[in-house]
A = this chain, B = another copy of it.
Amino acid sequence: MPQHSHQTAPTQFVDAAGIRFAYRRFGKSGGVPLVFNVHFIGTMDHWDPLVTDGLAATREVILFDNAGISSTSGEVPASVEEMAVNARAFIKALGLAKVDVLGFSLGGFVAQALAVAEPSLVRRLILVGTGPRGGEGMATLTPEAQAVFGATYADPDELWLGAFFTPSEASQAAGRAFLRRYRLRVEDRDPEVGGAVAPAQINAIGRWGAARAGAFDYLRGITQPTLVVNGNNDVIVYTVNSLILQQNLPNAQLILYPDSNHGSQYQYPSLFVADVTRFLDAVVPFPIQKDTYHG
**Interface on A for B, CB 8 Å cutoff?**
5, 49-50, 53, 170-171, 173-174, 177-178, 180-181, 184, 232-233, 239-240, 243, 246-247, 249-259, 266-271, 286-293, 295
Tell me the smallest distance from the CB of A156 to a CB of chain B, in Å.
19
Task: Using known A-B contacts A258-B246, A268-B288, A290-B174, determine if residue A295 contacts B253 with beta carbons closer than 8 Å.
Answer: no
CB of A5 within 8 A of CB of B173, answer no
Residues of B within 8 A of A171 (CB): 288
Tell me the smallest distance from the CB of A225 to a CB of chain B, in Å.
8
Copies in the complex: 2
Question: 17 new A-B pairs (CB below 8 Å) besides A250-B259, A267-B289, A271-B286?
Answer: A49-B293, A50-B293, A170-B288, A171-B288, A181-B293, A232-B246, A243-B243, A249-B258, A252-B258, A253-B255, A253-B257, A253-B258, A254-B255, A267-B288, A268-B289, A269-B289, A270-B287
**12 A-B interface contacts by CB (under 8 A):** A49-B293, A53-B293, A174-B288, A174-B290, A180-B292, A184-B292, A233-B247, A239-B247, A250-B259, A251-B259, A253-B258, A268-B287
CB of A177 within 8 A of CB of B286, answer no
Tell me the smallest distance from the CB of A112 to a CB of chain B, in Å.
16
Once bound together, how far apart are the Cα atoms of A230 and B178, in whole Å?
31
Once bound together, how far apart are the Cα atoms of A147 and B51, in whole Å?
47
CB of B258 within 8 A of CB of A255, answer no
Residues of B within 8 A of A5 (CB): 295
CB-based nearest B residue for A249: B258
Tell me the smallest distance from the CB of A81 to a CB of chain B, in Å.
25
Once bound together, how far apart are the Cα atoms of A251 and B257, in whole Å?
9
CB of B253 within 8 A of CB of A256, answer yes
Task: Using known A-B contacts A181-B292, A288-B170, determine if residue A254 contacts B254 with beta carbons closer than 8 Å.
Answer: yes
Residues of B within 8 A of A170 (CB): 288, 290
Tell me the smallest distance from the CB of A260 to a CB of chain B, in Å.
9
Once bound together, how far apart are the Cα atoms of A174 and B61, in whole Å?
36
CB of A271 within 8 A of CB of B287, answer yes
